[in-house]
Structure 1
Amino acid sequence: MSEISLWNESLVAGSLTPSNQKSYEVTKRIHEGKKPLCSVVFNFIDPRFYNFFVTAGGNGINMYNCLEDGGISSLHSYTDEDKEESFYTASWTCILLERNPFVAAGGLKGRIRVLNLQNNIIKTLVGHQGSVNEIKTHPMIPQLVLSASNDGTVRLWNVETGICVLVFAGSGGHESAVLSVDFHPYDMHRFVSCCMKTTTKVWSMKEFGKHVDESFTWKDDPKTFQTQVVQFPVFTASDRMTIVECNCWVGDYILSKSMTDKILLWQPQLKENSPGEVTLDVLCRYPIPKSYLGHIKFSCDLPMNYVSIGNQKGKIYVWDLKTRPPVLITVLSHYQSKSVIKQTAMSTDGNTILAASEDGTLWRWDVKRV
């Protein structure tokens, strides 16, 4: 599909067709502090807590509840004992014997803190030799999480037992900092990862299913568990143009954000005479003006109908993922939002958008009620 022209910054939702129109308004803003907010994530693993979300920034983790009236209720706050810690990422997870969800958070120091809803540390997962850039939870087995690190590895953890089950690294692994990971939505064995050296890799855990099962029944010290190293991905794709800093699955397609002011939706095409290597067959391009700064990450609603992402001017772009050619739903802006939006979070239906800002402000946008 040919690249669509860059949308004018002045475009508003009212200029779009009614079927694609969504008009949002700011319903709440909270200034958490002077330190940048790097991450904001809704809880998609437990329907009882779909309105819960978590933010990460500096050495603090905050849990909130999105209220139906547009407000935000604070649940608990956690401040790490290490004042030099800086959290970059957080993900909701669970422990089978507990009724409530947990949060796994990581960042500068490479440790992963597992916190309960009272923000008490349940476990600390240690193994990475570099910063943790992203944590993602398995959609079908939420006791399992992936962590992407500056040490060039991806690790699979069992938060219930505290075991590092698998390490994805070696001959076919990433050669630089891994920035993003995401589990496949319905192939429980696959995930995608991307790194600083413009490469995207798809991995499979299928051959290690027995090993994953053993991590749930291990009774000895977690340090004695025989962590397995996975050296070769299913395939590797390279943009060769720019760093890929965020990726996720949309069905069997991959949505990627690079440092070239755009998001790509693509599918891998095998290269002839090059086993394990693929090219990017780009299906759609979603321009995002002023988003070339690093560590700006997008989010989608639960059914993957929409994608939202901020830029370095404090604006948020919302695209329709189901429309061909792509349709820009709206551009959200506010006179007080001038700082980089590091990450957005969309509610299950896409009607609420949260934004984590570099100036320490949390923004809530909601679809206007008729």
Structure 2
Amino acid sequence: MAVVVAFPEKAFTRVSSRDKVGSTLVAARPLPKGTSVTAYGSEEIVPEPTMHTLAIRAGAHGVPRDGAEFVSHSCSPNTDLVAVALKDGKLETTTDAAVVHAVVLVANRDIAEGEEISFDYELNEWDMATPFTCQCGNSNCRGYISGFKNATAANQEELLKKATPLILSTPLFAVAFLDEEYAAALSDAEPYADESRRGGKGSVAHFATAGGRCITLYQGSEQGFEPIQAYTDEDAGEDFYAVRWTVDVATGAPLIAAAGKRGPIKVLDAARMQAHCVLHGHGDAVNDIRAHPTDPSLILSSSKDESLRLWNLLAKCAVAVFAGERGHESEVLAADFHPLGHCFASAGMDNSVKVWGLDDAAVAGAVAASYEFAESAAVATAAAAGRGGEEQRVLRPFHATLVQFPAYSTDGVHSDYVDSCAFLGNLLVSKSTDSRLLLWCPDVSARLRLLRSLAREARASGAGAHTGAREVDDLLAAADAWHDPDMGPLLAGETGEAAGLAEDDEEIEEGAATVLAELPLPNASLWFVRFAVDSSHTRVAAGNDAGDVFVWEPMGPGAARRVTDEEAADFVAGQVEAASASSGDAGVPPNSRRRSPPSTTPAASETPGASTGTSPSATAESPAAGDDAQSNLSSAESESSDEVDEVAERLAFIAAAPLRPSPGAVMTLGHAKSTKAVRQTAFSPDGRLVVAVCDDATVWCYDTKAPHPGAP
């Protein structure tokens, strides 16, 4: 029951401390247990902390009442902290972190006249800007006081008994849905699931949230969600920033990968409710994790150590490290795989967005080698188990491949930190701190010319003698792979003029990009706020500082058409013809003669925000008609029908995302009680639900077909 708070007159007085530095407060008269001694925030709240304020809630700091800034810390204090809310002009106790108006010091025992008044700073401070060594002298003194976040696990358990709502509501930074294809394995691992919350057949969904050192797994449907599993990391200093689902291909068990402040990636088996493995390698915090769209054994991590790492969960090792000479020059904040899995984009605090290829010889070879490594490790483990010994890993380490050259890079799209990026089909969506998301298309052909120029410079300067001739050859191979026409419209701007440039052309524009649309995100000035793209690659959802969620459909209806089998076959035939013709012409890069896939988008003049002549869907000349074309088509079909089918499937996917940007949000989701910053959003696999996690540890689930929010 709520209790109205009142303050007695002259409860304390300020005195100079004899054995401590500075002043302290002592009781001016006897104070019985339960007395409200003083408060922080009851009279004034400021947005920024000072040496004497007390955190009230996220972004709000209470100014001390009646000179209470001199209250001392003690590990065995004589006052407790009680959170209160303002109701009808009066202060009443509350446990709701979202409505805390002030924090009151209440005597937890009788305080004698002249006794020093104290409270435990770590009951309310998550991470102190000015830590200190405690001199309270009590038997339970914790020594170094730096905030609840940095306390030991045992001390945190004690502190939680009296902690304020601010501590109990540790910010949630990450959320991710499980692909329901893999959810069946969870059926035996849901002892707390309420069958009535499942909804109809096929409607059950699972998502995981992460924040602090906790990971929570939820189950439910549009009817509501409930937690069914929770994991607490043994490291009290861990603070998870990222969480992602994948699957153990050996057992079919859903896996949860999470990482954060400490750096190691913790992988959990949600079906068996136990640890799967821990991946070590990053030298600093991990900000983001992504699972490969076609190979669930591969995950990608982005780190504060300025690198990205590709991991193989079967081999339990890093396959490739993306960093170095042309890598990010500051903290990497986010990454996303292309839906076809042949490349990924990354973004960071250096204001840049980069695209890295995965299908060049070096990376593809490293991935293949990692699977061989996993197989040999499994054989060695089985042999050791058969001998009755402990499980052993292969003694030799797996050496990850270093990739220093991205296929594309730009720092011209954003002028500040880029904290989130994702593919929308072949386009990119990225976000900075300027209250908007940008939908844009990279000019990859410009990057191709730059790669060739770098390779020529390396050879001319004798770099091959230092870095190895193979590295230069791999660079050229990567350029050719990136220019592969199977990637379709991602080769933006590959018009006749660009395609016809000779290899010695010196006009190279690194980082060229065409911004197609701005998606306005009001009240969004915080950084490290991530958006989501749905599985159909047609919608985007992002939250803001005020707890609202906006949903856009940048790709307007009516512009899509699938690539037909005939068009795909003709396209492949063109590649056969181009490859044959290129053998006698060494002066022009072979890939520059390749024709682009059939256009699936409106003309540039019909695309809002696109400049004339720079449409990402611009193509080279159409295939010539006549007997030769028909002959080549027949030859291609007879020689490689499987290749035709594969290309048709890939191009059909690309065609499903037409270029018709719509800058306005089509839906705004929110709730009167959702008032804190949304750190990340996620779409359910069917795209119907949007889940948002917030700074006050609340989780909100919205039904986009009937947008009435409900908190799990």
Specify if TM > 0.5.
yes
Identify the match of residue 173 of structure 2 among 22, 38, 51: 38
Q: CA deviation at 1:33?
A: 4.3
Q: CA deviation at 1:369?
A: 8.5
Rg larger in 1 or in 2?
A: 2
1:218-274 Cα distance to aligned partner (Å, 9 max, x none): 134477001110111101111351111100111111010111100111001237856
2:313 & 2:422 partners in 1: Cα distance?
Answer: 22
Q: Give the SS at the match of 2:441.
A: strand
Q: CA deviation at 1:350?
A: 2.5
2:350 & 2:339 partners in 1: Cα distance?
Answer: 25
The match for 2:605 is: none
Identify the match of residue 687 of structure 2 among 340, 345, 350: 350
Q: CA deviation at 1:96?
A: 1.2
Q: Is the 8 A contact 1:304 1:321 kept in 2?
A: no
Q: CA deviation at 1:333?
A: 2.1
Q: Does 1:340 align with 2:475?
A: no
Q: CA deviation at 1:210?
A: 2.1
Q: Does 1:363 align with 2:700?
A: yes
What do you get for the CA RMSD once the two structures are aligned? 2.1
Q: Is the 8 A contact 1:45 1:142 kept in 2?
A: no
| Greater strand content | 1
Q: CA deviation at 1:95?
A: 1.5
Identify the match of residue 221 of structure 2 among 67, 70, 95: 67
Q: CA deviation at 1:56?
A: 0.5
* Greater relative CO, 1 or 2 (CA 8 Å, sep 6+): 1
For residues 180-329 of structure 1, the aligned pairs below 5 Å read 180-186=334-340, 188-206=341-359, 207=361, 208-218=363-373, 219-220=376-377, 221=393, 224-239=397-412, 241-269=415-443, 270=446, 273=506, 275=508, 277-323=510-556, 324-329=661-666
Identify the match of residue 99 of structure 1 among 248, 252, 256: 252
1:176-220 Cα distance to aligned partner (Å, 9 max, x none): 00000111111x321100110111111112222122012122134
Identify the match of residue 143 of structure 1 among 288, 297, 310: 297
Q: Is the 8 A contact 1:238 1:279 kept in 2?
A: no
| Greater helix content | 2
Cα distance change, pair 313–99 in 1 and its aligned pair in 2 (3 A) = same
1:264 & 1:53 partners in 2: Cα distance?
Answer: 27
Q: CA deviation at 1:136?
A: 0.2
1:324-348 Cα distance to aligned partner (Å, 9 max, x none): 3334212122111110000111113
Identify the match of residue 280 of structure 2 among 117, 123, 126: 126
The match for 2:138 is: none
2:691 & 2:328 partners in 1: Cα distance?
Answer: 31
Cα distance change, pair 361–33 in 1 and its aligned pair in 2 (3 A) = farther
Q: Is the 8 A contact 1:45 1:92 kept in 2?
A: no
Q: Does 1:109 align with 2:262?
A: yes
Identify which range, 141-150 or 91-100, moves more after superposition. Answer: 91-100
Which stretches in structure 1 are left out of the alignment for 5+ residues? 1-30
Q: CA deviation at 1:43?
A: 1.6
Cα distance change, pair 319–369 in 1 and its aligned pair in 2 (3 A) = closer
1:33 & 1:142 partners in 2: Cα distance?
Answer: 35
2:238 & 2:688 partners in 1: Cα distance?
Answer: 33
1:201 & 1:214 partners in 2: Cα distance?
Answer: 26
Aligned residue identity for 2:700: W
2:259 & 2:287 partners in 1: Cα distance?
Answer: 7
Q: CA deviation at 1:48?
A: 4.3
Q: CA deviation at 1:150?
A: 0.2
Q: Give the SS at the match of 1:139.
A: coil
Cα distance change, pair 368–279 in 1 and its aligned pair in 2 (3 A) = same
Q: CA deviation at 1:65?
A: 1.4
Which stretches in structure 2 are left out of the alignment for 5+ residues? 1-164, 185-203, 378-392, 450-505, 557-660
